[in-house]
Chain A
């Protein structure tokens, strides 16, 4: 007999499990319409693969995983896609979300499907891919993609595999009846998980309030090396971290994962879904859902197709709407009130609770905290709920984090024991959400700041570059002006031009000692033009201007010189003829 440890706190609420255990699992059949939310799991919503009006067959993938932490979705029965639109989904907000709606034709036609011949011949990665493609998300209630959890962190070796058959929450019997009726399938699933993870120990934890299930499991597990461990009933021993502590005595570090201490936990429902997927090639299309509470005539467990409307299921169980004030998905401790009965059953719907008003009365008004400390005694995560409540009221988020708010599993034990009826869990949920929101906002602000600063530096750099260019141009212009002012006496080119000018002037002076008044005027303007052109050429050369401009200037100088020479010759001729 294995030693069973315990965990801090916990409560013993009325179990109310027997009502729904009187009959065997009943198939809910095929409803006329199925509504399949694209986000039935934790992670990115899946992406539709079908069009409106398209015919789909049972087991056909209708939406694919859209990221690593995501799972695909399959058609639970054959029919036609009626719509892909926002429909109300089972969510505490009561809001709508994108869904694929299928009108069933009732023929339940399968696509071709086949399981693997022998999973022992398959690689672990291959099996993980099959599990992922079967759309399996944790069936215990949280809906975390099973393949992601099994793949774990690279390099982390798993020593212990724990199968969770605890089902500690009152009223819910979906796992109980599954263990009673499908123990062999659970063991098949465990064999596959063992092949993937290769753990040293496999523990199947069941609370001792399920004798029938324990007997069935022990028969099925005989000789397989899977150890069925029973332990005293206490809420919330089905919580992953609580179960690990109960079975192994080890605590998962704050903020850590079970894989950090070499443990992986899977629900019995997930084990069955895995055996269906691997051995029979059947993706996750249905689940066991408990319909219970005093407002239903026949509380029992249904095998129900995903997407079945809750009202359809309630009708099968003999729902009396007059007796029920609110409908709860999940159990009385952690479940949430549904906004309408039109919402569909999803992968995480383990229970549909229709309590009468006297059975689950509305909580009395909250009164002030009297600091009695009962909540701290009940907390299975060893937190200080009254302190957290205080900080949550004052929105002191850093103190909440220092007091390990994020280790809270929202089990509701603190609210249950609170003599002042304070809805403590709601405070924690709200604070967690707000802290996460603040973190996201802060990340965005930080990114915006970085982008703003990058832009500022870029603008400053561009401005600087422009300024530098402007300064360089200004400097060049100043130098040119200086050169022009100084007359360029020391400049070789300028000097050469000067020399040429002087020479020409001397020639002219020698050639035409007495120029006539008539010919002098055009000759004078031509000379001025030539001087100007030559000066520009000199400046151009000085400033190192473009070769094209230089050649153009040179050409104009040459042209002017030619003209001048012609004019001089003409004048000289005229003077000669005059003198003759």
Chain B
């Protein structure tokens, strides 16, 4: 045996490598079939970061289609409801640079909810069909109303209304919504030590 290997070193090496490669390859192949993941898991992760307003401002019919598009290389700065924070979260998730929000798709607005002026509503059901989260209650020729707790503020019901009786009302900025803000990082702007200030400031 040793002699045989010594006589044919090239062949022995080849046999050894193939002998190792074949079972490992088979093992990997089996694992690939056995533990196959259904769908693209990154899409779910992206979808969890998106604000789920389903507003379509990104140009896709909902948040999940946009998440799929991002997974396929679409830009991450097309979601105005998510805002800068959302872009930052996506950038962290995908490990890319966070670009500024694409102004083409709208700008970050104050969170608001739809409100139907009920005495003007004619009961056409057009807004109900437009609402992506079924947050509008009503029936044909009956008054409609918005379930405030379910409304995502996506604006999609405003356009179809034939009598313009839907307003977007910013969410109340009362005592319940108030919270402490981070302190201003003040030390930079104060000349505690003269040499700390920016060169431009010193020149001035």
Residues of A in contact with B (beta carbons under 8 Å apart): 39, 89, 91-93, 95-97, 365-368, 392-393, 423, 426-427, 429-434, 436-437, 441, 444-449, 451-456
Q: How far is the CB of B98 from chain A (nearest CB, A)?
A: 13
- Measured between alpha carbons, how far is A456 from B54 in the docked complex, in Å? 11
Q: Which of B52, B63, B181, B192 makes the CB contact (< 8 A) with A430?
A: B181
Majority secondary structure, B binding face: loop
Q: List B residues 120-149 near A (Cβ within 8 Å).
A: 132-135
Report A-chain residues with C-beta under 8 Å of the C-beta of B132: 452, 455
Report A-chain residues with C-beta under 8 Å of the C-beta of B150: 447-448, 451
Assess whether B73 is interfacial by the CB under 8 Å rule: no
Check if B178 sits within 8 Å of A95, measured CB to CB.
yes
Majority secondary structure, A binding face: helix
Query: Which of B33-41, B102-110, B182-190 lies at the interface with chain A?
Result: B182-190
| Chain B contact patch, size range | 20 to 34
Report B-chain residues with C-beta under 8 Å of the C-beta of A93: 175, 178
Would you give 25 A-B contacts (Cβ < 8 Å), ordered by A?
A: A91-B178, A92-B180, A95-B175, A95-B178, A365-B187, A366-B185, A392-B182, A393-B182, A426-B180, A426-B182, A427-B183, A429-B180, A430-B181, A433-B179, A433-B180, A434-B179, A436-B179, A444-B52, A444-B152, A446-B52, A448-B52, A448-B54, A449-B47, A449-B52, A455-B134
Extra pairs beyond A368-B187, A433-B179, A449-B64 (17, CB < 8 Å): A91-B178, A95-B175, A95-B178, A97-B175, A365-B186, A366-B185, A366-B187, A430-B180, A436-B179, A444-B152, A445-B50, A445-B52, A448-B52, A451-B135, A451-B150, A452-B63, A452-B132
Q: How far is the CB of B74 from chain A (nearest CB, A)?
A: 19
Report A-chain residues with C-beta under 8 Å of the C-beta of B29: none
Chain A, Cβ-Cβ closest to B133: A451
Q: Which of B47, B174, B185 is most buried by chain A, counting CB atoms within 10 A of its CB?
A: B174
Assess whether B51 is interfacial by the CB under 8 Å rule: yes
Chain B, Cβ-Cβ closest to A437: B179
Check if B178 sits within 8 Å of A427, measured CB to CB.
no
Check if A427 sits within 8 Å of B51, measured CB to CB.
no
Report B-chain residues with C-beta under 8 Å of the C-beta of A447: 150
Chain A, Cβ-Cβ closest to B62: A452
Please list the 5 inter-chain residue pairs (A to B) with the smallest Cβ-Cβ separation, ordered nearest first: A433-B179, A429-B180, A445-B52, A448-B52, A451-B133
Check if B187 sits within 8 Å of A39, measured CB to CB.
no
Report B-chain residues with C-beta under 8 Å of the C-beta of A95: 174-175, 178
- Measured between alpha carbons, how far is A432 from B51 in the docked complex, in Å? 21
- Measured between alpha carbons, how far is A95 from B53 in the docked complex, in Å? 30
A91 and B134 in contact, given A426-B180, A430-B182, A452-B62 (Cβ under 8 angstroms): no
- Measured between alpha carbons, how far is A431 from B180 in the docked complex, in Å? 8
Q: How far is the CB of B73 from chain A (nearest CB, A)?
A: 23
Report B-chain residues with C-beta under 8 Å of the C-beta of A436: 179
Chain A, Cβ-Cβ closest to B47: A449
- Measured between alpha carbons, how far is A92 from B150 in the docked complex, in Å? 30
- Measured between alpha carbons, how far is A431 from B179 in the docked complex, in Å? 10
- Measured between alpha carbons, how far is A445 from B53 in the docked complex, in Å? 7
Chain B, Cβ-Cβ closest to A434: B179
Report A-chain residues with C-beta under 8 Å of the C-beta of B187: 365-368
Q: How far is the CB of A29 from chain B (nearest CB, A)?
A: 29
Report B-chain residues with C-beta under 8 Å of the C-beta of A448: 52-54, 133, 150, 152
Q: Which of B133, B178, B181, B183 makes the CB contact (< 8 A) with A366?
A: B183
- Measured between alpha carbons, how far is A434 from B152 in the docked complex, in Å? 20
